[in-house]
Copies of this chain bind each other. A is one copy, B any other.
Amino acid sequence: MPHPTPASNSPADKFTFGLWTVGWQGRDPFGDAVRAPVDPVETVHQLAKLGAYGVTFHDDDLIPFGSTEAARDQHISRFKKALAETGMKVPMATTNLFTHPVFKDGAFTSNDRSVRRFALRKVMRNLDLAAELGAETYVFWGGREGAEYDASKDIRDALDRFREGFNTLTTYCRDRKYKLRFAIEPKPNEPRGDILLPTIGHALAFINTLEHSDMVGLNPEVGHEQMAGLNFVHGIAQALWHNKLFHIDLNGQRGIKYDQDLVFGHGDLLNAFFLVDLLENSNYQGPRHFDYKPSRTEDMAGVWASAASNMRMYRLLRERSKAFRADPAVQAAMKDSRVAELALPTLAKGETYSDLLRDRSAFEDFKADATAARGCAFVQLNQLAIEHLLKAR
């Protein structure tokens, strides 16, 4: 394994991984598991050695569904010990509301009310643990909240129930003084034919209707937006603009198809570059969380190598972004492209629409054809970016 020596990553990078990522056994719709289960304790130690900052988990990753109280305590205690030994953090936790067949029609939005109640209880229980472990973010991926058939579920009712669930749970956390903020993770489809809140946009709109909407933001995932053919950089920019980027899931996807969960940067490389460029030039301070699946072709050595590749890719892209921004030729090209002019308000300070109406240069005397003739010089700027990405300058 030629790449990253552990020393090269640092907890300051805030690289985190889900237990379920390196722990994925490779079961897919057409194939059986290819790898043995990984003990979460081992995961904590291995990732610490690779220089990660922390781990994240679904309740069932740590404590198998249906465990007794005693077994549960035992799992938690071993996990805490590993954290203590390594200094690894748990900045995020989440609930598995999708694996057990009881969630086949959803959790918060199952047509079956008893399932919805069970789901709320399952979340509350894990919120307690998340708070105890010091997590700051609690993720909600509603992978089973959706439908295959339009007659089987009134989406307006489903959104009512979804909102009810969030309102109940934010109240619960507030009352208990948990420091947790919630982060919704959108996805357009798979495992349901169509999933509720399919994109960053739909989730942002939904959040606005919540009782404690300040507590609720997003956990967007690279591949999920790309499964709808959307530009992930645009989506993250809009999330940042709404101050709702609470957490982020980094991975790779090669176009509109099944959810691939490749290593970060192993999908759309250009978009990954611009994503890192955006994140590093934003006020986002949270973890760089890798939510990927080590390919089914890999053995455990390959699993750990692939974990390292995620971090290596992020650091490489960060380095290239810095060089890109620092290059005077890039700054000149950005000026040619008038990038900064977009930050300038369209109306001058204090100008009203009445003033604008009186400004003949804005309309009556505006030279549309001459203005149209000016080139934007966008292709050159893009070429420069790619050359920095490729270290060709």
Inter-chain contact B263/A379, CB cutoff 8 Å: yes
Q: Does A21 contact B (CB under 8 A)?
A: no
A interface residue count range (under 10 / 10 to 19 / 20 to 34 / 35 or more): 35 or more
> How far, in whole Å, are A337 and B120 apart by their CA atoms in the complex?
22
Residues of B within 8 A of A143 (CB): 30
CB closest chain-B residue, reference A374: B299
List of B residues within 8 angstroms of A372 by Cβ: 34, 100-102, 104
Expressed in whole angstroms, the minimum distance between the Cβ of A149 and any Cβ of chain B is 4
A140 at the binding interface (Cβ < 8 Å): no
Could you tell me the distance in whole angstroms from the C-beta of A228 to the nearest C-beta in chain B? 5
> Quick check: A205 and B294 within 8 Å, CB to CB?
no
Please report the C-alpha to C-alpha distance between residue A390 and residue B300 in the assembled complex, in whole angstroms: 27
Determine the chain B residues whose CB is within 8 A of the CB of A158 once the complex forms: 342
Residues on B with C-beta less than 8 A from A196 are 234
What chain B residues lie within 8 Å of A78 (beta carbons)?
none
Chain copies in the assembly?
A: 4
Looking across the interface, which residue of chain B has its beta carbon closest to that of A143?
B30
Contact assessment for B155 and A238 in the assembled complex, using a CB-CB cutoff below 8 Å: yes
Q: Is A286's beta carbon under 8 Å from chain B?
A: no
B159 close to A241 (CB less than 8 A): yes
Q: Which of B172, B347, B385, B390 contacts A320 (CB 8 A)?
A: B390
User: Hey, which chain B residues are within 8 Å of A215, CB to CB?
Assistant: none
Given the known interface contacts A102-B368, A376-B298, the answer about A230 and B347 at a Cβ–Cβ threshold of 8 Å is: no
Complex alpha-carbon distance, A28 and B100, angstroms: 11
User: Other than the known A151-B277, A305-B383, what 8 A-B pairs have Cβ atoms closer than 8 Å?
Assistant: A31-B101, A150-B233, A150-B270, A150-B278, A151-B334, A257-B258, A298-B379, A302-B380
Q: Does A153 contact B (CB under 8 A)?
A: yes
Contact flags A212-253 to B (C-beta < 8 A → 1, else 0): 000000000000001111110111011011100000000000
